[in-house]
Amino acid sequence: MRRKTTEPTLDAETWGLFHREGYLMHRSKRLRSCSLASLLVVCLVGMPVTLAADTDGTQSTADLSTIKGKLMASDGSPLVGATVKLFHLSTEQTFEATSRGNGSFEAAGLPYGYFDIAIESGSEFFVTNSVVNLPPSDTLNVDLKLASPGTLAPDRSFPGVDKAATGTAIVSGNVTATNFWTSPKGIAVLAGGGGALLLLVSGGSSSASASTP
């Protein structure tokens, strides 16, 4: 007599979990795809962020670095007397520098790591389209040019500034951050070629949309 076998059954919740785990294992082979980047942004929102630093959370003075460059108006002319705000993602410190007569600025004694940048000029406030990655004991050259008038300002805030952005500043120069996403409350960055690091800034408890700026 042939024994009748009964196939195991899974309720909807268990099947959904099984299917999701299988999907994640399959997608883990494609870390560089935008689909997985989007999944990481959703799954890791609210998780604590740790950047490269000493084990006690501090950095040696020997590792301090400099960001310098030029500020330019949309027509390429120097932007004089503007304030450059540099927000360090790891320590949540804000550093400032003022542009000189030729539009140049320099901020020294900075911790290494990722910086979000904004420009305040009179009543106008510009946030950048990318973050920059400052190496230890190094100087990073970053030029910032205001986008053309009428360009839609990014729908995001800047840490510590209680005003909406009125425009965008385009980052150029030797920057190494990659795959930049924005959200209304802040920014999220998927960085480091293989997409191993997710940074959440300025209202990181809010969901970030996986859309490039």
**Predicted TM-score (pTM) of this structure:** 0.61
Residue 29 domain-assigned (yes or no): no
Amino acid sitting at position 108: A
Q: Which CATH number does the domain housing residue 111 bear?
A: 2.60.40.10
Which of 156, 173, 174 minimizes the C-alpha distance to 165?
156
Output Rg (C-alpha) for the chain, integer angstroms.
22
pLDDT tens string 11-50: 444 434 434 444 334 434 443 333 434 433 334 333 333 3
Q: Do 145 and 72 contact (CB within 8 A), yes or no? A: yes
Residue 116 lies in a domain: yes
In a domain, 2, yes or no: no
Domain that includes residue 96, residue range: 62-175
Which pLDDT tens digit goes with each residue over 124-163? Answer: 999 998 889 999 999 999 999 999 887 887 778 888 898 8
More confident position, 134 or 61: 134
Task: Give domain status of residue 83, yes or no.
Answer: yes
Q: Which two tokens stand for residue 20?
A: 């999701």
- Looking at the structure of the chain, the number of domains it has is 1
Identify which has the larger pLDDT, 32 or 2: 2
Residue 81 in domain: yes
- At residue 129, the pLDDT reads 86
82 occurs within a structural domain = yes
Of residues 194 and 83, more confidence is placed in: 83
* Those residues with Cβ within 8 angstroms of residue 85's Cβ, 6 or more apart along the chain or in another chain: 94, 95, 96, 117, 118, 119, 120, 158, 160, 161
Residue 93 falls inside a structural domain? yes
Flag whether 188 is in a domain. no
Q: Are strands 167-173 and 132-134 parallel, antiparallel or unpaired?
A: unpaired
> Is residue 153 within 8 Å of 166, Cβ to Cβ?
yes
